[in-house]
């Protein structure tokens, strides 16, 4: 499912227009992104949580040349599914 399909599915289930639904979904994604950039955690009970994980500097290897390269430290977004979501998907 891509973003357009998600908008159509949510619009149908909620009974809203696709245009209004697109605004809501975009605003939701923007709010989540803004909080993650600020280093905050977002917890949606029953669904899951979004967090930022720190990945330290490490040594990698170029698969073609086998040359070692230094991979710099970075922050990466992370999602952990909640218990209720895991149980629903497992059925």
Average pLDDT for consecutive 10-residue bins of the chain (91 residues)? Answer: 96 95 96 95 95 95 92 96 95 87
Neighbours of 9 (CB within 10 A): 12
Map tokens 């698969």 to a residue.
63
Handedness of CA 91, 85, 20, 27 (dihedral sign): negative
Residue 38 is predicted with a pLDDT of 95
Contact (CB, 8 A) for 50 and 78: yes
pLDDT confidence of residue 91: 87
The helix (H) or strand (E) run that includes residue 89 is: helix 83-90
Integer Cα distance of 73 and 88 in angstroms: 36
């Amino acid at each position: 499912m891509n973003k357009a399909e998600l908008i159509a599915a949510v619009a149908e289930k909620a009974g809203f227009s696709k245009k209004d639904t697109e605004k809501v979904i975009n605003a939701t994604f923007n709010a989540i992104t803004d909080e993650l950039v600020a280093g905050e955690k977002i917890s949606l009970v029953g669904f899951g949580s979004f967090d930022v994980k720190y990945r330290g500097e490490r040594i990698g290897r170029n698969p073609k040349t086998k040359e070692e390269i230094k991979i710099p430290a970075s922050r990466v977004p992370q999602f952990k599914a909640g218990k209720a979501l895991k149980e629903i998907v497992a059925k």
